[in-house]
Structure 1
Amino acid sequence: MKTLGMIGGTSWHSTIEYYKLINQMAAKIIGEQANPPLIIHSINIELMREQNKEKINAKYLETSLKLQNAGAQAIVICANTPHMVYDFVQPKIEIPILHIAKATGTEAQRLGLKKLGLLGNKPTMTGDFIPKVLKKNYGIETIIPEEEAIPQAHHYVSKELTQGVFSEEAKAFFLEQIHLLQKKGAEGIILGCTELPLLIKSNDIDISTLATTDLHAQMAVDFIFSDG
């Protein structure tokens, strides 16, 4: 098994979910009597809330180098939004960062989906770090909610979901956004927040969903057990 480095903390709820999923998926291969080698570095989430891109880039580079020097053979960033650092950090380290959008794009391609709605917090929905990878590598178009809905989506993600709060109001809001994205031509919905699949279940809607955390965790496990 290869050693995987994990950058967590944004949020710690998300980090726990990644750790659990990776171990559960690995257990299906090696059994419950063993587990894969993982190195976890948890970053203070206040860094992301400052929204200082230079500081965020510098911290993720510093952390990635620490994991590399500690023996990690690849890195998984345990959340969607921090993938904004990928273009800055990846060229400066010697091991791969397993990109969450590539995990998502591979599954969307398998399902034959060409136009996806993207839900998450404001930086995830308005940034290019997921749409750019999906377009360049898979020819997939990404659409997001209307501009006036983005602050409310961000509020529910940052103030409720990442704090472990799952309200009926948040669920109703995101179900409405999914309906509106379907009307705009979305063939599937990217649940671009670790906690969104805990709020929205597959039987709540009649459209394919891509839970980025699950797909990313599977990508991590595939790497751990890969040859070469």
Structure 2
Amino acid sequence: EVVQRSIEIPLLHIADVTAAEVGREGISTVGLLGTRFVMEQEFYKESFRAQGIDIVIPDRASREYVHNVIFNELCVGKLIPESKKKMQTIILDLQEAGANAVVLACTELPLLIHVDDTSVRLFDTMALHVNKAVTLALSV
């Protein structure tokens, strides 16, 4: 908000763009996967709350696992089948906790988890953010 007030161009916050898209689809509860910081801090949660959407996050051990897979595997180009299976289990756990969809809130997660890997709706924050930026740029 402080930055937006001091500039003349629109600021596209990735969490706001994602929350708006989830809201447009009428989803009431999402699971959130990303780094530990993304899952535990408030900036994504605030954007989703503003849209009336609840967020569920994995348990502590699963959050640590996701965080480690991102940094120790995906960021260095490793795609390990066992990690994919565990991530699918974590997604199932989020569904059992009430998530109607899962937000992949990290640029690396779509390298490991794809739409056909799970029955739940996945939202790729990077793709949503880029699409919104392009749409906005082309509308000027």
TM-score by length of 2: 0.91
Pairing partner for 1:160 from 52, 73, 80: 73
Task: Provide the residue aligned with 1:117 in structure 2.
Answer: 31
- Aligned residue for 2:16, secondary structure, equals helix
In structure 2, relative to structure 1, the CA distance for the partners of 1:100 and 1:203 (3 Å cut) is: same
Deviations 1:176-227 (A, max 9, x none): 1100000000000001111211211111111101011111110110111123
Whether 1:222 aligns to 2:138 is no
Greater Cα offset, 181-190 or 152-161: 152-161
Deviations 1:108-166 (A, max 9, x none): 12221010000011011101111101111x11111100012211111111121122221
Identity %: 36
Tell me, which stretches of 5 or more residues in structure 2 are unaligned? none
- Aligned residue for 2:43, secondary structure, equals coil
In structure 2, relative to structure 1, the CA distance for the partners of 1:90 and 1:166 (3 Å cut) is: farther
Distance in 2 between residues matched to 1:114 and 1:222, nearest whole Å: 25
Letter in 1 for 2:60: E
Give runs of ≥4 in structure 1 deviating > 6 Å.
none
In structure 2, relative to structure 1, the CA distance for the partners of 1:95 and 1:143 (3 Å cut) is: same
TM-score by length of 1: 0.58
User: How many residues matched?
Assistant: 140
Greater Cα offset, 88-97 or 171-180: 88-97
Distance in 1 between residues matched to 2:60 and 2:5, nearest whole Å: 33
Letter in 2 for 1:139: G
Task: Provide the residue aligned with 1:178 in structure 2.
Answer: 91
Distance in 1 between residues matched to 2:82 and 2:4, nearest whole Å: 39
Deviations 1:38-89 (A, max 9, x none): xxxxxxxxxxxxxxxxxxxxxxxxxxxxxxxxxxxxxxxxxxxxxxxxx564
Q: Which has the larger radius of gyration?
A: 1
In structure 2, relative to structure 1, the CA distance for the partners of 1:92 and 1:162 (3 Å cut) is: farther
RMSD of aligned residue pairs (Cα, Å): 1.5
Q: Looking at both structures, which has the greater relative contact order when contacts are Cα pairs under 8 Å and sequence separation is at least 6? A: 2
Distance in 1 between residues matched to 2:92 and 2:20, nearest whole Å: 24
Task: Provide the residue aligned with 1:190 in structure 2.
Answer: 103
Distance in 2 between residues matched to 1:92 and 1:146, nearest whole Å: 39
